[in-house]
Chains A and B, each alone.
Chain A
């Protein structure tokens, strides 16, 4: 078996298997009827009101699913948020515009929105050109979207997914027309810009929990519970690891140094 495993990956496999097992266990428990209570995310609570206000004012809702393709998990998480958002906009009888900078994202977003409008009983309202491909070039994409925002004056701009420098350019474009801005990204570098310029922001992992939280089905909520258990385990390991390393270095006793080496082996990177 040792010939099969790539060198230096056994610890990643071990921790990964533990995390997946914990999440899987939580999903199964939730499916069997265990109650899962999830903390409400303020940006998502603001979504209903913002959609209603935008539609009442006759202004469109804009949704941008980041600047990456479908091979980026943040884009997948953003598209998962698009479905409940499109449904809310459809129920309110509003117009949702989704500019994209990847054609695969456009194709998926169009299908999501079309189905959401149909689910809400407003298939008559939907137009395919409300999901449009703009450009793969991220600054070209921003120039076009900011231009559209300036002319169409959306009432709500939702920016979800991975962003690079375009995050601030998009967010300030929305701010200038007085749109409510709800953003979410797991890009640590761009989070400060979004926090500074948007009304509500989903921070990091909240982006991946947003769709499950909005749609609230038991199995997906169970996975959020599993995620929280993993975080608890990570916190316990951080505290225990710090203690073990400190005690081992101070005392130099064999059992502690053995424990320290075991910890460092399991949690070493690379």
Chain B
């Protein structure tokens, strides 16, 4: 029973949602009851999932507090990081819940300009995000250096096409091949760059998307049919 009930709920819900995606929205109240119900399900299930995730925030928050309290209690090597996490968590929670510096009351906008929460966001969180994000520039360079080393035919092709695309996107690249005469202008680096992006790249991306779509459908079919193993029950799915 412990295995069957979640599986039945999953299968029935999934089939209902799939059918409802193909059902026309009734324009008046005279449409058949089943059609109205399916249209309603299609509209409302996303909202219900959002409501569920709000409760999941509580689960996440409690887990975060419990994990870091245990680390501080056990005096582990990371306890100071845990202390910073907990203090930040409590400060932001209090500032947000009490709507400090912003319009009060239930309807008050917690992110209104001048509120303490928006100050925390603008003065602390945004710069931290920008700092972390800026690391990407260096990481892209180091990852590209490793990927573009010409060790095999494939990586040599990757290197050559990357070089052409890079040159084709910068003014210096255009100047390099501007001398190529008009009848064979397709050999200019910016034209080659566009061709790589439009033809082999698009073909590869489309093949990838077709495969992904089929993979998603196959996984969905397995889940609806109960072939995927259910982590909540320990069932073997067979």
B170 within 8 A of A: no
B-contacting 9-mer, from A17-25, A43-51, A90-98, A255-263: A17-25
A111 near B232: Cβ-Cβ < 8 Å: yes
Task: List CB contacts (< 8 Å) of B51-76 with chain A.
Answer: 52-53, 56-57, 59-60, 63-64, 67, 70
Inter-chain contacts of A104 with B (CB < 8 A): 52-53, 56, 59
Most central of B128, B139, B144, B237 by chain A CB within 10 Å: B139
* Partner pick for A208 among B125, B205, B216, B234, CB 8 A cutoff: B216
The smallest C-beta distance from A188 to any residue of chain B, in angstroms, reads: 5
B25 within 8 A of A: yes
Inter-chain contacts of A244 with B (CB < 8 A): none
* Partner pick for B211 among A77, A168, A205, CB 8 A cutoff: A205
* Partner pick for A20 among B60, B221, B227, CB 8 A cutoff: B221
Contact code string A207-219 (vs B, CB < 8 Å = 1, else 0):
1110110010101
The smallest C-beta distance from B223 to any residue of chain A, in angstroms, reads: 7
* Partner pick for B60 among A133, A186, A219, CB 8 A cutoff: A133
Task: List CB contacts (< 8 Å) of A1-45 with chain B.
Answer: 3-7, 9, 12-13, 16, 19-20, 23-24, 27
A-contacting 9-mer, from B95-103, B104-112, B129-137, B183-191: B129-137
A-contacting 9-mer, from B16-24, B172-180, B192-200: B16-24
Inter-chain contacts of A177 with B (CB < 8 A): none
* Partner pick for A227 among B60, B136, B144, B214, CB 8 A cutoff: B214
Inter-chain contacts of A64 with B (CB < 8 A): none
B-contacting 9-mer, from A52-60, A68-76, A153-161, A245-253: A68-76
Task: List CB contacts (< 8 Å) of B85-100 with chain A.
Answer: none
Minimal Cβ-Cβ distance residue in A for B231: A112
A203 within 8 A of B: yes
CA distance A188 to B215 in the complex (A): 14
B120 within 8 A of A: no
* Partner pick for B217 among A20, A69, A129, CB 8 A cutoff: A20
Inter-chain contacts of A9 with B (CB < 8 A): 21-22
Chain B: residues with Cβ within 8 Å of the partner, total of 60
B40 within 8 A of A: no
Task: List CB contacts (< 8 Å) of B121-168 with chain A.
Answer: 125, 128-129, 132-133, 135-136, 139-140, 142-144, 146-147
Known: A27-B227, A83-B229. A172 touches B143 (CB 8 A): yes
Known: A76-B223, A147-B81. A186 touches B24 (CB 8 A): no
Task: List CB contacts (< 8 Å) of A80-107 with chain B.
Answer: 80, 83, 102-104, 106-107
Inter-chain contacts of A71 with B (CB < 8 A): 49
CA distance A230 to B49 in the complex (A): 31
Inter-chain contacts of A76 with B (CB < 8 A): 219, 223, 228
Most central of B35, B49, B59, B212 by chain A CB within 10 Å: B212
* Partner pick for A203 among B35, B208, B234, B237, CB 8 A cutoff: B208
Contact code string B4-25 (vs A, CB < 8 Å = 1, else 0):
0000000000000000011111
* Partner pick for A111 among B81, B140, B216, B231, CB 8 A cutoff: B231
B132 near A142: Cβ-Cβ < 8 Å: yes
B208 near A188: Cβ-Cβ < 8 Å: yes
Inter-chain contacts of B125 with A (CB < 8 A): 137
* Partner pick for B64 among A69, A80, A133, A195, CB 8 A cutoff: A133
The smallest C-beta distance from A127 to any residue of chain B, in angstroms, reads: 11
B218 near A204: Cβ-Cβ < 8 Å: no
A80 near B228: Cβ-Cβ < 8 Å: yes
CA distance A11 to B205 in the complex (A): 23
B227 near A219: Cβ-Cβ < 8 Å: yes
Known: A139-B133, A169-B132, A227-B218. A132 touches B63 (CB 8 A): yes
B209 within 8 A of A: yes
Minimal Cβ-Cβ distance residue in A for B140: A168
Inter-chain contacts of B210 with A (CB < 8 A): 231, 234
Inter-chain contacts of B225 with A (CB < 8 A): 24, 27
B216 near A6: Cβ-Cβ < 8 Å: no
* Partner pick for A3 among B24, B67, B133, B218, CB 8 A cutoff: B24
A19 near B231: Cβ-Cβ < 8 Å: no
* 10 intermolecular pairs with C-beta atoms under 8 Å apart: A3-B31, A27-B222, A104-B53, A106-B59, A165-B133, A175-B143, A188-B205, A197-B143, A226-B218, A234-B214
Task: Sort A-B residue pairs by CB-CB distance and give the 3 closest, nearest first.
Answer: A103-B60, A208-B215, A205-B211
Q: Other CB < 8 Å A-B pairs besides A6-B22, A169-B132, 12 of them?
A: A3-B31, A76-B219, A79-B231, A80-B229, A103-B57, A133-B64, A188-B212, A196-B146, A197-B147, A224-B218, A227-B214, A227-B215
